[in-house]
Amino acid sequence: MIDIILKFPKSTIYFFRFSRQYVNKAVYRHIMCMVLAIILLRGHRTYANVSRLFMESRDKSCISRCFKNSVFPGFLMQQDLCKRLLKESLEIPNANNAAKPNAKRIAYMIIDGTAQKKQGKKMENTIIYKKGYTCDHFFVMGIIYFPDTGVRIPLPRRLYRTKEYCKKHGYKYRTQVKLAEMMIRYANLPDDIEVTVIFDSYFPSEAVINRIRSKGYHFVCSVKGNRVDIDTDKQLKVICQEHILSGQLKNRIQIKVLSKRSQHTSKGSVSAYKYETKTFITYTEKLSISKMGELQIVFSRKEKDDTSDLRYMRYIVTDNLSLSTSDILTIYTYRWQIELYFKELKSYLGLGDYQMLPFQAIVRHVDCVIMTFMYLEHLRICKLKEDPKSKQWRYSRTLQMSYVVQHELRMTTIAYLKRALKNDTFSKLEQKLMEKLPLVA
């Protein structure tokens, strides 16, 4: 672990160089300080430890005051960084389309909500349940996933505000479904990308479906069994029960998916990602669902589940009528990528490691965490540009890329020390080190 950072690494300065237009110099340096501290201080993220990392951070409360400052355009910075990451990701050579140079790049927009459980009932904008044991902060997140390169680009976050918080601070109340619709509306993706939106059964409302179609996208999602077929006026679970009794639910399809048991290994490679084969029993047909239009519906269950129990049934729908059953199931398995995204934000980047009462300060923390993930993904994109066929960089994730940043920081510190010794300024360097290091009796 690096105890002192003397200079910012070049990759950090290069990535945030255009963000300088949104903030002043002090806030700009605080953002880079927090991004590097989030990567290096896993499990020890306090403002005092952040200030100890950097030689020039004399005031230990300066970053805390910066978080409470209203001039912190984290959302605008995320929009700018997301646009730049999209442009960089499209510059990676696509081996799958080598034979079809005019083919569109395929990308999946995955949207889901996550809750951060907190015990402090005095925190702003929390949902307290009836039992009163926990209170949650809700965030609606999204990523752009490219399956050919494995690149994941976060979309700008959407914050769920309760009715009480909106009334107190003068905000307009929006549901989580409305926030998802806004995320799709303002996602300015290039026209040469074929986009499919993936989400679970919580988000397929009429507004979300209409927004997807107005953008020229397709969608693949799961729906609940109480959805009604317009032609027969029957619910999907009733139609599914009829297919089970008539013996139509019998198509056996195998899907190769990324295993949840993938572990890191020390035998030469950075990570070991294992694939496993899942078998589903399916039946596919075209129906007209209320408020969703004509769709292709896959009634599916796992092979090992009970045939007659509807609790194990999954109803997956899509408006792309040209897809096969195997393609629909494969695309829906990509939804697991956003669950991995949430896990990495919480486990390695400290999404929930905050103890601040004002919700505005919590938003600043969330913004820094998302921008940190963007920075690590930028480094991985740069590595993939140099070697597109490298499995090491294709399957590297947050933890592995944090080691890359740590190595670059060490090389930057060593280079700075060499320059300082060469210029006969060791006395000044020694004075700074004595101010930073604790006295030993």
Outline where 323-441 has alpha helix (H).
325-333, 336-347, 359-386, 391-394, 398-422, 426-436
Q: Is the dihedral of CA 7, 11, 17, 19 positive or negative?
A: negative
Pairing of strands 105-118, 127-128: unpaired
Angle at 199 between CA 195 and CA 204, to 5 degrees: 100
Higher pLDDT, 133 or 29: 29
Residue 201 neighbours by CB distance under 10 Å? 15
pLDDT at position 64: 61
Least confident window among 40-54, 92-106, 426-440: 426-440
Window from 116-130, 165-179, 348-362 with minimum mean pLDDT: 116-130
First to last CA, the chain: 24
Cβ within 8 Å of residue 140, ≥6 positions away:
111, 112, 113, 157, 158, 159, 160, 176, 179, 180, 183
The pLDDT assigned to 153 comes to: 95
Would the pTM of this model clear 0.75, i.e. be above it? yes
